[in-house]
Chain A
Amino acid sequence: MAGKSGRTIDITPRKGKFFRWETGLIFIFIAVIIFGNIVSPSFNVKSVFMNMPKYLAEMFMMFAMGYILIIAEIDISVGSIVCLAATMTCFANNAGLPMAAQVIICLGVGTLCGVLNGEILTHFQELPSMIVTLGTQIIFRGIAEVSMGSGGSISLSDTKGFAALGGSIGIVPIAFILIIIAAVCFIFILSKTTTGRKMYAIGSNHTTALYSGIKVQKIRRNCYILIGAMAGVCAMFMLATSFGANTTTGQGFEMDVISMCVFGGIATTGGKGNLIGASIAGFTIVLLKIVLSLLNISGQTILVIIGILLIVSVMIPSINEQITNKKKKAALAAKA
Chain B
Amino acid sequence: MSEETVKTTSAGTASSADEDLILELKGITKIFPGVKALDNVHFQLRRGEIHALMGENGAGKSTFIKVITGVHAAEEGHMYLNGQEVHFKGPKDALEAGIAAVYQHPTIYPTLSVTENIFMGHEFIRHGMIQWSTMNKEAQKLLDRLDADFKPTAEMGALSVAQQQMVEIAKALSTDAKIIILDEPTAALTANESEKLYRIVEQLRDSGVSIIFISHRMEDMYRLASRVTVLRDSKYIGTYDVDKITNADLIKAMVGREIKDMYPKPKVEIGEEAFRIEGISRLGYCKDVSLNVHKGEIVGLTGLVGAGRTETMEAVCGIAKASAGKIFVDGKEVHIKNPTDSMKAGIVLLPEDRTKQGLIMDWGLGDNVTLPIQDEIAKGPFKVKNIQQEREISKHYLEEVDTKALTIYDLGSSLSGGNQQKVVVAKALAQKNMKVLIMDEPTKGVDVGAKAEIYSIMGDLAKQGYAILMISSEMPEILGMSDRIYTMCKGRITGCLDISEATQERLLELSMEHGNEEKEAAQ
Residues on A facing B (Cβ under 8 Å): 1-5, 7-12, 14, 188-189, 192-197, 201, 204-205, 207-215, 271, 325-326, 328-329, 332-333, 336
CA distance A325 to B32 in the complex (A): 9
- A214 surroundings in chain B (CB, below 8 A): 340, 371
Bound: A260/B356 CA distance, A: 30
Which chain B residue lies CB-closest to A327? B33
Chain B, residues 362-401, CB within 8 Å of chain A (1/0): the string is 1100110001101100100011110000011011101111
* A-contacting 9-mer, from B41-49, B53-61, B403-411: B403-411
Q: Which residues of chain B have C-beta atoms less than 8 A from A7's C-beta? A: 399, 402-404
Given known pairs A9-B405, A193-B385, A332-B31, the reply for A215 and B340 (CB within 8 Å) is yes
- Minimum distance in angstroms from A334 CB to a CB of chain B: 11
Known contacts A9-B395, A205-B356; is-contact A333 B31 (Cβ 8 Å): yes
Distance of A97 Cα from B348 Cα, bound (Å): 55
The 8 Å CB contact of B319, one of A195, A205, A211, is A211
- Structural contact, A208 and B375, CB atoms closer than 8 A: no
In contact, B356 and A3 (Cβ under 8 angstroms): no
CB of A202, distance to nearest CB on chain B (Å) = 10
B364's closest neighbor in chain A, by CB? A14
- Flag if B33 contacts A192 (CB, 8 Å): no
Q: How far is the CA of A211 from the CA of B394 in the complex (A)?
A: 18
Chain B contacts for A207, CB-based, 8 A: 356-357
B343 sits at the interface (CB 8 A):
yes
Give A1 to B426 CA distance when docked, in angstroms.
13
Given the complex of chains A and B, what is the CA–CA distance between A10 and B403 in angstroms?
Answer: 12
- 21 A-B pairs with CB atoms under 8 Å apart are A3-B401, A3-B403, A5-B402, A8-B395, A9-B395, A9-B398, A9-B406, A192-B385, A193-B385, A194-B378, A195-B383, A197-B374, A197-B385, A201-B363, A208-B356, A208-B360, A208-B371, A209-B360, A210-B319, A214-B340, A332-B34
Cβ contacts under 8 Å, A5 to chain B = 402
A193 and B400 in contact (CB under 8 A), knowing A210-B319, A213-B343, A332-B34?
Answer: no
**How does the 8 Å CB contact mask read for B328-360 relative to A, with 1 for contact and 0 for none?**
000000000011101100000101000011111
Q: Does B361 contact A (CB under 8 A)?
A: yes
B36 touches A332 (CB 8 A): yes
A204 in contact with B360 given A3-B402, A211-B339, A212-B427 (CB within 8 Å): yes
Given contacts A1-B400, A192-B382, A207-B357, 17 further A-B contacts (CB under 8 A): A3-B400, A9-B408, A10-B407, A11-B395, A192-B384, A192-B385, A195-B383, A205-B359, A205-B361, A207-B356, A208-B359, A209-B371, A211-B358, A215-B338, A329-B32, A332-B31, A332-B33
Quick one: closest B residue to A195, CB to CB?
Answer: B383
Would you call B339 and A210 a contact (CB within 8 A)?
yes
Could you say which of B383, B401, B404 has the most chain A C-beta atoms within 10 Å of its C-beta? Answer: B383
In the bound complex, what is the Cα–Cα distance between A7 and B342 (angstroms)? 33
A9 B399 Cβ-Cβ under 8 A: yes
The 8 closest A-B pairs by CB, nearest first: A3-B402, A328-B33, A10-B407, A11-B391, A213-B340, A194-B374, A212-B371, A329-B33
Q: Which residues in B have their C-beta under 8 angstroms from that of A2?
A: 399
CA distance A217 to B375 in the complex (A): 17
User: For residue A330, which residue of chain B has the nearest CB?
Assistant: B33
Given contacts A211-B358, A212-B372, A213-B340, contact A11 B399 (CB under 8 A): no
Q: Which residue of B lies closest to A205 (CB)?
A: B360
- A271 near B362: Cβ-Cβ < 8 Å: yes
Given contacts A3-B399, A9-B406, A204-B362, contact A211 B349 (CB under 8 A): yes
CB distance from B9 to the nearest CB of A (A): 29
Interfacial chain A residues near B366, Cβ < 8 Å: 11
A9 to B33, CA, bound (A): 26
The answer, among A1, A14, A189, A197, for a CB contact under 8 Å with B407, is A14
A14 & B384 in contact (Cβ 8 Å cutoff): no
Give the one of A10, A14, A333 with max B CB within 10 A. Answer: A10
Closest A residue, CB atoms, query B374: A194
A138 CA to B338 CA, complexed, in Å: 34
Q: List, in ascending order, chain B residues with CB within 8 A of A1's CB.
A: 396, 399-400
Which residues of the other chain, B, contact A328 by a CB distance below 8 angstroms? 33-34
A8 and B408 alpha carbons, distance in the complex (Å): 10
* Residues of chain A contacted by B371 (CB below 8 angstroms): 197, 201, 208-209, 212, 214
Residues of A within 8 A of B367 (CB): 197
Q: How far is the CB of A221 from chain B (nearest CB, A)?
A: 14
A328 (CB) vs chain B CBs: closest residue: B33
With both chains docked as a complex, state the minimum distance between the C-beta of A322 and any C-beta of chain B, in angstroms: 10
Check B33 against A10 for contact (C-beta < 8 Å): no
Are B362 and A208 within 8 A (Cβ)? no
- Interchain nearest-CB distance for A276 vs B (Å): 16
The distance in angstroms between the C-alpha atoms of A3 and B460, with both chains bound, is 12
A1 to B383, CA, bound (A): 29
Pick from A4, A196, A213: contact of B372, CB under 8 Å: A213
With A7-B402, A211-B351, A271-B362: A336-B31 Cβ-Cβ less than 8 Å = yes
With the chains together, A11 CA to B402 CA distance in Å?
Answer: 15
Residue from B319, B343, B360, B409 with most neighbouring chain A CB atoms (10 Å): B360
**Contact A9:B403 (CB < 8 A) given known A194-B375, A194-B378, A210-B339:** yes
